[in-house]
Structure 1
Amino acid sequence: MQSLQDQDDLIPRPRGSLPKMCAAVLSAMTIGGFLFLSPERLFAWVTMVILILTLGPLLHGLCMLAEEILYHSNTRHRGRGWSHVLPACGLWGKTLLAAGLAGLLLQLVRHPLPHQGQSWKLVILASSLYPLLKSLGVLGPSEVEVSALCEGRKMNVAHGLAWSFYIGYLRLVLPRLDDSITAFCATHQTSLGRGSRKLIILIPLNANISHKLNEEDDRILFSDNLPNNEIDRAGVRGRVYKHSVYRAHECVLEYATPC
């Protein structure tokens, strides 16, 4: 049997907020340094950088928008129009709002940046190069970023398998399981236990599932099968779903108590 330490090594923990904390500390240290060196132009520098970092993704979104409108508006977006395509390309929401506010604040700032003309040239050049570098994969997301995105949106393989198990099996058999158990108890002179009923799904860490549970533990004995459930599914008339009843002996348990 695997130890708890081995199980922790097999099952990855959900990713936390440490990258955000590190980014916040790094930004605070950098802004603090500029505040010490040039406090009168700090606000202008910050708005300029925000404008560069948001205008670049917006231009990249325009490049993606051209592809989506010309070739994929019907097949991928089903002709739902600009209200769907624009957010899908990142041309909506926080990025657009941040770019607009940064541009407005940069015009209203009291202490303009030195060499204002060159600063705007830098904005245009950096924003124009961003779509190229992004398209070439230089600024592409790392494997950790892709994994974190899939994990946050519940798009991992494990999530897909779980949904498949629920939609293709549990959603069909669970509504009929209670009646099957009642019918089994009536024919086998077995009484139902008191208290709430719980469904516990056992998933081995090594994905090795035995065909006979008594081969894994001789204290688990096969009793009988529940009555069959026949369900029309995927073009198959009367597909049979069945469950087996086992008797477990020498089960160690303890109720959780406050003290």
Structure 2
Amino acid sequence: MYLNDIPLPRGNAAIWSSIIVMFASFTHMSFFTEVKIILQHIVLQLFVSFLAGTMLRLCEFLEECRHVPSRYKNCWKALKASCNLKQYCCGIVTLIVFYCLVHKSKTDGMDFLSSFPWNVSLSCFCYSFFKVFGFLDPTPAEISEICEENKLNVAHGLAWSYYVGYLKLVLPNLEERIKYHQRTSKSVPDCKETWKLYILIPFSCKVHDKLEKADSRIEFSGNLPELCIDRAGIKARSYKHSIYSIYDEKFGPHRCILEYATPLRSLFEMSNDAAAAFSKEQRLEQAKLFYITLENILKNSQECAGYFKLIPYDDDLEEGKIDSHFLSNVILKHMAQERLEYTVPEQSTWKETVNDSLASVEPLMISGSDDPQPLQSKNY
């Protein structure tokens, strides 16, 4: 219930199974006729298939020609978008091999030249039939694989936007603001092992504006000093982080900096807007991909290393089947895990990073409500 079925990256099982099918088919045919004749038929069928596929690509090119002014600007780009270069190369190779086999073949009276026009017409008819009635359309799994490989999913864009436009700005300054807040307030995380931003990632994408409504054992304790950055034309744009007390079963408080991953709200709103045509199943898939993508981005980020903790959980259960304190238990479990696995970054690395950043970036302003005096901060 806590973490349900995180999808793994797709592998090459389909390719390997296709190779097995090819080998089994060839072995079966070899029991009934000579290998040379089998190769002749295979080359003939491949060439005819490539030729029929080319006819379909030309039909698609005719549609794309209508969009040359708005999409491609010239016909050559439209042709490349409609056609598969790999398919054309394979078609030319099979044509050469087919020509050599036909002119050197004298077996069993097989008249390949006389049957060639018939096979081409038949294949073109069948391929066109499949195209018209949608049998050649990619399956949902194929579409998903293409989108994941080429980073075309909604989740990829949201994850990168969340990282570049928010986490990369605020996380490197997190420890400094905690230390500054520690001098003026007692509402700070319990120990340095938990001095990081805990990011909630519910797969239901249900983001509560007040965490107290999600779980009565979560209580707001205060805010860290604001981080002010000149961003996208906005002078001194403010970024805040809230500290919460998470109570265990014995009502002992455990403080941490906690918030939802805000892009999940966009996914939730999209699934409730008919114009977005975004189903609940698609929302769940994109939420999981968002978590996977964000985790990979942050793992490879030197600026954010050690200052975040992602908390994915599946809360999309029927009402009454989920514990009212499910969220607080999940957070406490991650906090306990952090205390066991936490490794403190080397102090020399921290100082080198600060010195390098100060040489090239304008200083930021951190202001706290308890102390109105500004504090110069390092920007990363």
Measured against the shorter chain, the TM-score band is: 0.7 to 0.9
Q: Does 1:201 align with 2:196?
A: no
Alignment partners' CA distance in 1, 2:132 and 2:228 = 53
CA change 1:172–1:203 in 2 (3 A) is same
Of all paired residues, the percent bearing the same amino acid is: 32
Ranges in structure 1 where 5+ consecutive residues have no aligned partner: none
Instruction: Give the Å deviation of 1:117.
Output: 2.8
Q: Does 1:252 align with 2:336?
A: yes
Alignment-derived partner of residue 226 in structure 2 = 228
The DSSP-based 3-state class of the residue aligned with 1:202 is strand
Alignment-derived partner of residue 372 in structure 2 = none
1:115 to 74, 93, 111: 111
Q: Does 1:73 align with 2:65?
A: no
Contact 1:224 1:245 in 2 (8 A): yes
AA aligned to 1:23 is S
Contact 1:210 1:216 in 2 (8 A): yes
Alignment-derived partner of residue 35 in structure 1 = 30
Identify which range, 112-121 or 19-28, moves more after superposition.
112-121
Map 1:134-173 to 2 at 5 A.
134-173=131-170
CA change 1:170–1:53 in 2 (3 A) is farther
Contact 1:173 1:241 in 2 (8 A): yes
The DSSP-based 3-state class of the residue aligned with 1:201 is strand
Alignment partners' CA distance in 2, 1:152 and 1:186 = 48
Identify which range, 103-112 or 212-221, moves more after superposition.
212-221
Alignment partners' CA distance in 1, 2:220 and 2:10 = 41
Ranges in structure 2 where 5+ consecutive residues have no aligned partner: 247-253, 255-331, 343-380
Contact 1:214 1:220 in 2 (8 A): yes
Alignment-derived partner of residue 41 in structure 2 = 45
Contact 1:44 1:112 in 2 (8 A): no
Contact 2:171 2:197 in 1 (8 A): no
Alignment partners' CA distance in 2, 1:174 and 1:56 = 56
Alignment-derived partner of residue 288 in structure 2 = none
AA aligned to 1:100 is I
Instruction: Give the Å deviation of 1:246.
Output: 3.3
Alignment partners' CA distance in 1, 2:43 and 2:123 = 14
CA RMSD of aligned residues (A): 3.6
Instruction: Give the Å deviation of 1:103.
Output: 0.6
Which one has the bigger strand percentage?
Answer: 2
Contact 1:40 1:111 in 2 (8 A): no
Instruction: Give the Å deviation of 1:177.
Output: 4.5
Instruction: Give the Å deviation of 1:99.
Output: 0.6
CA change 1:168–1:75 in 2 (3 A) is farther
